[in-house]
Structure 1
Amino acid sequence: MAVEGHQLAGTTGTKDRKNLFRAAGVDTGGGQLSRALTRLCKNIVDDPAFNTFTMILTIYALFGDDLRLATTSEPADIIFDWITGVALAVFFLECVAQSLGKEDYFLSFFFYLDVIATLSLILDITSVAKLISGGGTGQLKAGTQAARVLRVLRMIRLIRIVKLYKQYQDQQQRKKVKAALERKRKKEAEEGYAKRVAPGEEEDLIDFEDENFAMLQQDGVNAVQESRVGKKLSDMTTRRVIMLVLSMMLVVPQFQLSENFQHKQSSAQYSLDLLQLFLADYETAVGSSAGSNLVKEHRRQYELALLKAVYDSNPNYSADYCDEYDITCADSQFAEILFIGYVNRNEQPMWDMRDKIHITELAAEKSSWEKWHNRYDLGNEFGFAGGALPEVIKDRLTNDWSNNQGCFDDSLGKSVIGVALKAEIPCPPKKLRFNEVDPAFPWAGVHPQTNMVNTDSLLAYYDLRRLVYFESVMSMMQTIFVCIVLGLTATFFNKDAKELVLEPIERMIAKMHRIRDNPLVAMRLGDEEFRKQQIELKREQEMDEIHSDWNWRNATLLENARRVVRGSLGWLASRCGSGRNRGGANKTSTRRVQEPMETVILESTLIKLGGLLAVGFGVAGAEIIGQNLSGDASGVNAMVPGVKIEAIFGFCNIYHFSDATEILQDRIMIYVNQVAEIVHSLVDMFGGNANKNIGDAFLLVWKIATVPKDVSGELEDNEFITREHRMRRMRMCDMSVVAFCFTISAINKSAILSEYRSHPGFLARYPDYRVQMGFGLHLGYAIEGAIGSEFKIDASYLSPNVNMASRLEAACAQFGVHLLMSHFLLDQASPGLRDACRQIDRVFVKGSKKPVGLYTCDFTAGVLHVQDLMQQIDHRAFTVRRKYEVRQIRELKKHRKWADDYEPHRELLEDPEIVPMREAYSREFFQRFHMAFRNYIAGEWVVCREMLKLTKTMLITRDAGAKRARLLTDMPSVTLLNYMEQHDFKPPKDWAGCRALTSK
């Protein structure tokens, strides 16, 4: 019967559970038995079927006893006792399972409540309840009242309903999200691409084209695991509510006097008082010298009072004219008399009393008894109908009363004589339940403390079944009411705190976990939050329209008339007046602008800080951010140990930067940022990341996911993983080259950067000035981590391979090309991309023991026309929403580049911006240069010279805006010719097909 306690962080629960294991003789030294037992108990208490079964038993525990009293009779008690026993055993088993399976349950607040509530079921067992009630005598209601008070504790189990409901809601939510995700993927498949997630990124949590899916996914994100502070607050609130309700139900009744302390006489006691008084007067008259007439008069008074007591609560009521005459009837009472007699508490025999107590004087007038006790002629709406007694009951009253001691226990007295007033219930205490009969004694002899009679006296038993029925029904209604109050109180107490504090905190915690797992996702959190706000705003506007329409339809005619008159007057005023109010210029919004909550400000600040961290640290700092956010320490450990990774390193440099600094002065920042925006955006578009900005240079990185070291499974699985890894590596190599190619194109056609071509300062030094950059690409390992000290760090990479990319970029000027790549990169690229590139040399680079093949991708940037992409854009319409939409379109394009059918090298062959830049380089040119290069490697420099002289002047191009074509000199051919000329076109004796790179 255990209530699901909230799991709080700490060691107390674990320690208590270990103590419990030791008490049970279970090994706690990390043995398999204890772990298996814990796992079994946890599975039991978390099993939905078991929770449903215990929930059914909980409902029975709350309503079963009242249902038994209201709908069944005494023979059915044994069935309910068995069900109660089963519930008791199951709840005890659940308490044990909770204690062993939940760390924070044993000896907790809910543990004690569950134990008390489980033990309270014992009071529902009829034999136990009868024993506690004292056999149905003076303390008849004590056991029942105690059981009902303790039954309140069982309502705590209704908290489990909330848990089951939450589980059901979560399951339904997961089904909806799964169905929506399937629809989204089907839509993507129909559009012709299969979406994949780029390395280092997570799949979009929101479909920005489907609002319903967006809200479902966002709800799924928000439905995070409840935080520890949320659990603690919810636990404490639930405790307070429970204690409040229990205190009200247990303590408040104690301020009311019970029937014993009220010492108030009931109608049954009054009747027995009269009988006892008249009987005493009769005995006194018999024992005195009074005349026979006086004795008969006393005897008649006693017998009339006896008949009055019987007819007033006639259990055999059969009158049919109560409703007709609107008078009081015997069946209108909840208590009917079942037995009347005399109890002897002394040792003397009862034979003399047997002759005195039955009816003798009025026996001859049996036919008049009904007439005396059915009076409806006493005045308007005044009278009484006692019904009729069967003849057998009349005979019992007029004959000697028999000894009924067998029907009663010894606590009543030594002997009891009397008569049963209902034929089918000869022995009320044995035939009915103990709480369905109520013994009554004369008021004069009742002890005020014990509510018992200690002397010989009259005795009556009343049938309380109708009263018990209504009490049971009212008890069930009270239980339902308390359950509702308990549930609503706990819900409303938690609602405000949850909405205003806990949910924002839990959302922030969820965002922190996402940032910790993938710090780069912080840059998308703002977009997700904005999308959610837009959807909520749209729904609020729709609801406002519905409410406005509803209010208009339900407005009174008077209000409608007022609006018509007001509108007419306004129209007349606008026609006759100045018309200054036309068009609603002076209308003010009725919507009150509310200040954002502090939690909203804090959440948005967290998103901004996360975004700034992601932008500031980049991919290289992801491990630093993740490790510092994963711990609970308040200190910052920036010096995280380095990690060896494999990546493609790109290095690019702005030419003539020193001159630009002197010319532009304080505008140099704008200049650099304009270039950086182009470089970074295109690198990001093609799966890369910006790492370091060094004034005139930028370090770009494409991290390659490594194969897990602990790969397990069959050989086919390993081959698949290796093949998948190889395909990703090839895709990444291709995209890095294509990214730099598009960067070269974007720099040369940028309208913003083209403005510097006409800058007087640049023209004074370089007549044909244009923004130019060199690019170097290399593949290899590096150590990723923090560089610096606790005062300042840079998240970057240390490796000779990073320096290699820098040296390749520096060599671009020597070879007169825009881009240089190493063969380490091209060997991992796709065949299509390798065919689009040209090897121009084979060199030894400083710091490298292996020769490096130098490749380039040939372009003639002068053919590009300047394009002002912002000319057609209205900057006033470029709002936050528009920027958000642009970012989402960009994200969609990025993800499509990871589709299975996307081939990056096709961009170089088909893109309308790249193709014109490569038109000058014909197939014949590549074939002749390749032949010349093979002779260069083989040492046939004389043959190579003749071929290179030809390739040097083979290229013809026409720049943008030029009327005539011009001869384009192939600078790699010139570089090789110059090198061979230094050696008189004779290879050195130690020539091995490569040379030292003279430039850095």
Structure 2
Amino acid sequence: MQQEGDKNDHQDAMIAKKISKGKKKKSVLDKDKKNLSVAIPDFVQKNASFKLNKKGSALNLAEAPKKSLTSRQLALKFTEHKYFVTVMMFATFGALFGTDLWEFCGPPPIETDFIIYSIMAVCFFVFLLEFSLLTWSKDGYSLSFFWWLDLLAAISLLPDALMAAQIDLITLLGGGTSMLTITRAGRAARAGTRAVRIISVLKKQYEARRDKAKGIVKQEDGEEQESMIGGKLGDGITEKVIVIVTLMLISNELFNLLVFVTETDFHLTLLNLENFYIACGASKEHRGCSHIRTNCTAHPASSDPTCHFNLYLRQVVADHNGERECGSAVEEATVKACRLELFDRSYDWTTYSFQGPCQVQQLRQLRLLGHDLFCNADAVASLRTIVNERIVAELPSSDSLLVFDNVPFARGEAIVSILQVCFIIVILGTSSYLFQRDSDQLVIGPLSRMAKVVETLLANPLAQIEETEGGDYETDFVERAIKKFGKLLQIAFGEAGSEIIGKNNMDSDGAVNPMVAGRKMQAIFGFAIIRAFTDCTECLQEEVMLFVNTIADILHRSVKKEKGAPNKNIGDAFLLAWRLPDAANLSAPHDDIAECALRACVRTCVETQASDSLRRMTENPKIQERIPGYTTSMGYGLHVGWAIEGAIGSMLKIDASYLSPNVNLAARLETGTNQFGVDILISEQVFSMIRPDVQKLLRKIDCVTMKGSTQPIALYTYDVPRVTANTIEELYKEAEEEEEEFDFWDYFRPLTSTTYRKRHADAVQLYLEGNWLEAKKSFELCLLEWADDGPSKVVMNFMRGRNFRPPDDWQGFRVLTSK
């Protein structure tokens, strides 16, 4: 293997030599021949070809075999082919303007609508083909932003495409102006989505023509890779513009419901006609009023129900018809009289039928209770539903309806739609271009130049750097600063120093490692945590920071006062340490460090109880509703042992902390306080370092093995008293801490009495010795005196779960189930 490696190194050297001599051959090497050895990292690759720079220029040592394209790659290449792109451009144009141009140009007879609808069906299937191919072949396209936009564009063509098969989706879904508005909103969305495709194609064609004019030839394998930042920024800008414009268009179409005449405007008229019609004796079985009246106009004040209906019907029809014949009149009264006269000449009151031409009327059909009283469905057949040429007000329950000719408004809407789509394309294209240009000029260009400078310095710390002038933007300043720093480093390090730095950066990827080995030390470690912190956070919200910091202030001051040092604040938890000499005996008292650690925990407990600031926060109604009676409560765990002291982190963030199983054990002791229902848990190692007179104030509650350890450990607790002081100042009102005779343990005596602690100690000893029946009796006596004693209840529950019979392998300890 060594010989083969030497052979390859020899071949690499020969190839490099040939390259350096090939001045007459076309090459993409850097003009500075001194950097040749740096510009070629590897000379032989598996396919016998390699790239010399990131601009895509490559020098092939041997022709690499062409790999056959997969079916997905072929599909993607097909969608990017110029002929398919051209077809998509025409399909997009047809989808955007087809129906509106068809309507604007006539409109042609309805019998020829299959032509435009067939074109729209072709556009729909072309869109569907492109959508399916891109979904299958293009990575990252499926379910992306543009995937949903293209899907929306295709779906918006469905109503038009189905009309080619004479399937009126608008009518099937309920018809009416509301459905038409939704359809037009779909067209508006289509304008926003497909406009991006047109802009992208035009942009690529422009860039291709520009590169061709400049003589730039891009090889297929050597195309410049688009900047990831630029692509992301450009896509983000385009997405935002599309969303804004599309939502604007959709909302505009929906607001048209409040502007244009709709069926709602005629619903009351239809309802009044039906009521008058029924009042005059008409029904679904009987056409017309029960009495025939042909002279109601002569007696307009008549109270006859038939005349009431006739006059109202006459007024409704005359108000909406006769515009062509009477529209030139100037005075409103003259126009009204003209329309009434036209109606009277053409309407037969005996049969309730209109004898005039229905195709020229604006009111095309009036049906009441299933009877056509003015024209019929034949007059409506020539009005399209897909382009909103009719307005329909109906009462389906009684088979009554009004249909109006809306062709003039439909043609106006077609013009507005064309102008609207064109406007959106212009706005979208202009904004996208301007945003992209700004990002290129202000961000992408400077970042690319900066990256190039850094890359050049990494490859060759002595490389020449060209300084640039001008530019007032922050990116220009940073670019100039990087270049100046590079020159200063070259001057400061010198040639040899720069080479060493360069080699170091190349070997370590430019990373700087400031870390050093840690140091072994000994200490008492404390872990404290705020209970129910999640609930407090959710209830206090912003004020939770005041809550935590108030507790931290009490805890840190107590620890500092008791010769300790706060180490880390981890949200609701705190790591504390009391350093011991390296040669300290961890099984015997050393000064009063262990006592100080215990005293700090007790001090924090009573001060958090007395703090009026914490009390005000915990009396928050939301906290009390969630946890009735809640007051600030904390758990503390103390353990002693070795740890590795040092800096943990990186150049971005460094913490000085301790790493050791003993630190983890202190944290697990803190967690155990919840299980035993106590405030403080200390290990037997810490207990052994406390003075005997203080040890009498603690009580042994169990012997367990903690998670991650097989060594049994006895657990002790201090029953923290419950104070009645309302402030911390009041708590120490009668104390004189500064006096030497002040006895902390006498001032904050344990909650339990000496007798109780003795009885409990006897019960625990019986339990550990395996005499569980006697231990049961002793624990029952303890619980009679103090029913809420957590440690007693925990041990009793443990023994009760085993019917007060110790296991055969009982060795005086158990496994603590919690961490």
Instruction: Bin the TM-score by the shorter chain.
Output: 0.3 to 0.5
The TM-score normalised by the length of structure 1 is 0.29
**Structure with the greater alpha carbon radius of gyration:** 1
